[in-house]
Amino acid sequence: MTDILLITISGEDHPGVTAGVTAILAQHGVSVLDIGQAVIHATLSMGLLVEVPRHCDQEIVVAQLQAQVEQQGMQARISPVSAESYARWVEAQGRARFIITLLARKITADQIARVTEVVSRHGLNIDGINRLSGRIPLGELPDLSKACVEFSVRGPLSDSGAFRRDLLEVAGVLDVDLAFQQDNMYRRNRRLVAFDMDSTLIEAEVIDELAARAGVGEQVSAITERAMQGELDFSESFRARVALLAGLEEGALEQVAAELKITEGAEHLISTLRALGYKTAILSGGFTYFARYLQKRLGMDYVHANELDIENGQVTGRVSGTIVDGERKAQLLRQLAANEGIDLQQVIAVGDGANDLPMLSIAGLGIAFRAKPLVKQSAEQSISTLGLDAILYLLGFSDRYQQGN
């Protein structure tokens, strides 16, 4: 028979606190059932759940612990835990666990309050809260600051759809991003990340840039609008827009490529993924010419896009091969996963347009990035507040483990 004690210790952090406490427990043959420790602004909070053998004098154990903690200038609270309470705690470990990731330029108390209110209203318990982003200085926010807090929650969730809708409502009101995903073995075991190119990896629609140089910007925009209204499918509208580019000098492509603006966080994200052993791909309804340029600049592994015909130094207005539309992107994603020998659950897909939805829907983690409203509503996850490197937070990587931080 044993007694169970809950020990909570707090105070100014300094070396030797944990060593001193556990040394006393070791002298009495105590087993540690659970342990947790956090330090916030040089203040330590530590908890231990322990079982004390019945042959030990519990009062002596408690007295020695109190003396040790007081000697180190800290405070301790030691309380007994009933066998019934412990049994309920053990039974709870089989409950589903979820991760909620809050993304913003700066974290506020209002954001935390509203998120945790939703969690409480749906009957979930918060097991842990961690800041994944770096420390933010006081005063005016630095350019492109980023902040992330991750909540680990547990419990039976009767209506995940309603829970997700409530989180999205909070995100919309506060102008933040809230990602919600199950905490399973795939979360930190993704191996392949596939990106759309235009308005995802780069802050432009290349075909619009080319159309402007060809003097057909308005005509191309009109066809794009018809496609968005459902009057034309992607392949039909794409061929019609490309046809208007006929006669454009090849030098214009070089100019557009040189002026491409990489999306916030893209370079940091790709370099970190590469360092972590991930494979990366561009699956684009745009042009191979520009995708290859990005592949070389960012260090991507795979590229699949549309081949723009060029003859005698001019664009012909035609594309060769199969058009990379939404269904083709999904097909290519399956092929890449098969070639890498991985499950689709280990794949991440990122895009902003309706033609990205098929690949977002089959990937283990589909992310709508700065997407149109329809895409944002349809995708499992969305990021609009921060740059592309916020994806690392969704994978559970804090800033201190990221490349270049």
Q: Which is it for strands 279-287 and 302-311: parallel, antiparallel or unpaired? A: parallel
- The single-letter DSSP state of residue 273 is H
Query: CA 25: distance to chain centroid?
Result: 40
Cα 378 to Cα 357: distance, rounded to the nearest angstrom: 8
Alpha-carbon distances of 300 from 50, 200, 204, rounded to whole Å: 50, 14, 19
Q: Is position 57 annotated as part of the catalytic site? A: no
Please pick, among 143, 159, 166, 196, the residue that the annotation labels catalytic.
196
Half-sphere exposure (Cβ direction) of 22: Cα atoms closer than 13 Å = 14
CA–CA dist 79, 74 (Å, integer): 17
**Per residue, what are the HEC states of 320-342?**
ECCCCCHHHHHHHHHHHHHHHCC
Q: How far apart are CA 31 and CA 109, in angstroms?
A: 38
In angstroms, the CA 113 to CA 119 distance is: 10
Q: What are phi and psi of 349, to 5 degrees?
A: -125, 140
Residue 256 CB partners (closer than 8 Å, separation 6+): 206, 209, 210, 213, 290
Tokens read off for 392: 């690392």
Other CB atoms within a 10 A radius of the CB of residue 166 amount to 20
How do strand 279-287 and strand 192-195 relate by DSSP bridges?
parallel
Polymer length of the chain: 405
Cα within 13 Å of Cα(189), Cβ side:
8
Question: Which value, to the nearest 10 degrees, does the dihedral of the CA atoms of residues 155, 161, 167, 169 take?
Answer: -150
Find the catalytic residue in 166, 177, 198, 389. 198
Look up 343 and say whether it is catalytic: no
Collect contacts of 68-74 with beta carbons under 8 A, ≥24 apart: 68/20, 68/21, 68/24, 69/9, 69/11, 69/21, 72/11, 72/14, 72/16, 72/17, 72/20, 73/11, 73/12, 74/9, 74/10, 74/11, 74/12, 74/17, 74/44
User: Which residues have a catalytic role annotated?
Assistant: 196, 198
